[in-house]
Amino acid sequence: MQSLFRLFALAAATFPLLPCAAPLSAAVVGQVVPGKWIVTLRPDADVATVASHFVKVREIRGRNVGGAQPESGDIERQYGFGSFKGYAGSFDKAMIEELRSLPEVLRVEEDTVMTTFDFVTQSNTENWGLAAISSRKKDATDYVYDSTAGHGTYNYAVDTGVRITHEEFEGTRATWGYNVVNDKNTDNAGHGTHVAGIMAGKTYGVAKKATVVAVKIFEGNSGQMSVVLDGFNWAVRDIVAKNRTSTAVINMSLGGAASATWDAAITAAWAQGVLAVVAAGNENRDASLVSPARSPEVLCVGNLQRDDTRYGGVSGSNFGPAVDLFAPGTGIVSSYRTSDGAIQMLSGTSMAAPHVAGLVSYLRGLEGPMSAERAKARVLGLATPGRVADARGSADLVAFNGAGE
């Protein structure tokens, strides 16, 4: 795969990478981004095949640019880990039709909008999520946990960035990993800092001694699927390269339209030993219509309210067989972007997912490094059954850390 990535780098030199797009305004989940496409190559494409493919792309581009927009035919991003190989860029319809016909091309998808999954913002200092995951009964008030608290583990936050100087991360437990969007290593939306605080904050975090790695894929609260894939691609490669598959988890509190490309990416990451925890989504619909939530290898998390009811209504938690378990997601207090001591209350499946990602790290810190498969099974095996009202076909399980009663 290293040699394949060198070929992708060569392609980037031939097709200069374009500047990152500005955040999408009035974004709608699943909305097509005009002129933008994601091309996935077949898993068995070897180095020679990939090299030959980019020669063909150059030839097709030369024939089709003609009167098209100057940037048409430009490759903007490349992906490559395990069996997942591909690229994204700006292509006109004539070029896309030729690319579809190439035998080494597995799939061509239009680029679409993905967004974060939070919806309520309200200043408050009350916190209940931690207590809820350390008790098998509702209305618990104390967080019971082992002092190992995720020590030696890593939580990759593929999100809006993280305010790594926030006091919740104690100066050393949050670091920048990769910024797909721009050169501003800051969280200008707040979502990523909040999510990171739930996973690993000293006050509001599940795994209070874990390390957060910030992977910025949104400048605001939405962006292109191709950009999110770029961040995920980096996180998977970093985890594998640093031998962290048994100590690291990726959290993605975001989603978009159902996508076969996302299915392939998640499967390839899983095959390399990387576990992803994802939000089910806030459209009050079947989670099988949302990616990456629908991918069977992820831990897909729904939004539980304080009364053990699935959050419903217009912004209700998605449901159905794709949802593996529920975690606290309504009225959750955590760190925020506006200062090193700022906190905020947010709600949504975006807040439920990091409770589970933090739990993965907590269990690994307590019980020792474990594979993605074992960690997923452990989380589901510990979960409390029979608590969720209105589960709507989802697994009736609530995340539990095993420490309380």
Which domains, and CATH codes, for the chain?
Answer: 2-113 (3.30.70.80), 116-398 (3.40.50.200)
Residues in the chain: 405
Give the bridge partners for 222, in sequence order.
Answer: 115
Are 107 and 261 spatial neighbours (Cβ–Cβ below 8 Å)?
A: yes
User: Catalytic pick from 350, 355, 361, 394?
Assistant: 350
Q: How far apart are the first and last CA of the chain?
A: 47
Q: Would residue 92 show up in a list of annotated catalytic residues for this protein?
A: no
Burial 195-221, CB ≥16 within 10 A → b, else e = bbbbbbbbebbbbbbbbbbbbbbbbbb
Q: How far apart are CA 314 and CA 280, in angstroms?
A: 15
**Which pLDDT does position 105 carry in this prediction?**
97
Burial 70-85, CB ≥16 within 10 A → b, else e = eebbbbbbbbbbbbbb
Residue in the block written with tokens 């997601």: 329
Are 311 and 304 spatial neighbours (Cβ–Cβ below 8 Å)?
A: yes
User: E strand or H helix at 252, and its extent?
Assistant: strand 248-252
DSSP string, 280-323: --SSSSBGGGEETTT-TTSEEEEEE-TTSBB--STTPPPBSTT-
User: Catalytic pick from 53, 191, 194, 355?
Assistant: 191
**Which pLDDT does position 404 carry in this prediction?**
79
**Which pLDDT does position 256 carry in this prediction?**
96
Q: Would residue 246 show up in a list of annotated catalytic residues for this protein?
A: no
DSSP string, 198-216: HHH-TTT-SSTTPEEEEEE
Are 171 and 217 spatial neighbours (Cβ–Cβ below 8 Å)?
A: no
Dihedral sign for Cα atoms in the order 15, 241, 199, 117: positive
CA 327 to chain centre: 17
**Which pLDDT does position 68 carry in this prediction?**
47
Cβ neighbours of 184 (radius 10 Å):
11
Q: Which long-range contacts (CB under 8 A, 24 or more apart) does 202-205 make?
A: 202/167, 202/168, 202/169, 202/170, 203/168, 204/127, 204/129, 204/130, 204/168, 204/333, 204/334, 204/335, 204/343, 205/168, 205/334, 205/358
Dihedral sign for Cα atoms in the order 333, 224, 318, 273: negative
Are 290 and 323 spatial neighbours (Cβ–Cβ below 8 Å)?
A: no
Q: Would residue 194 show up in a list of annotated catalytic residues for this protein?
A: no
Are 257 and 30 spatial neighbours (Cβ–Cβ below 8 Å)?
A: yes
**Which pLDDT does position 127 carry in this prediction?**
76
User: Catalytic pick from 74, 92, 118, 159?
Assistant: 159
Q: How far apart are CA 297 and CA 301, in angstroms?
A: 13
pLDDT of the chain along its 405 residues, tens only?
Answer: 433 433 333 333 333 333 333 333 345 667 999 999 999 999 999 989 998 998 999 888 888 665 444 455 688 999 999 999 999 999 999 999 999 999 999 999 999 999 998 865 555 556 799 999 999 999 898 999 999 999 999 999 999 999 999 999 999 999 999 999 999 999 999 999 999 999 999 999 999 999 999 999 999 999 999 999 999 999 999 999 999 999 999 999 999 999 999 999 999 999 999 999 999 999 999 999 999 999 999 999 999 999 999 999 999 999 999 999 999 999 999 999 999 999 999 999 999 999 999 999 999 999 999 999 999 999 999 999 999 999 999 999 999 999 977
**Which pLDDT does position 46 carry in this prediction?**
93
The angle subtended at Cα 201 by Cα 350 and Cα 179, nearest 5°, is 65
250 — alpha (psi -120 to 50), left (phi > 0) or beta? beta
Give the bridge partners for 275, in sequence order.
Answer: 249
**Which pLDDT does position 125 carry in this prediction?**
53
Q: What is the pTM of this model?
A: 0.92
Cα dist. 377→146, 297, 298, 370 in Å?
A: 20, 11, 11, 10
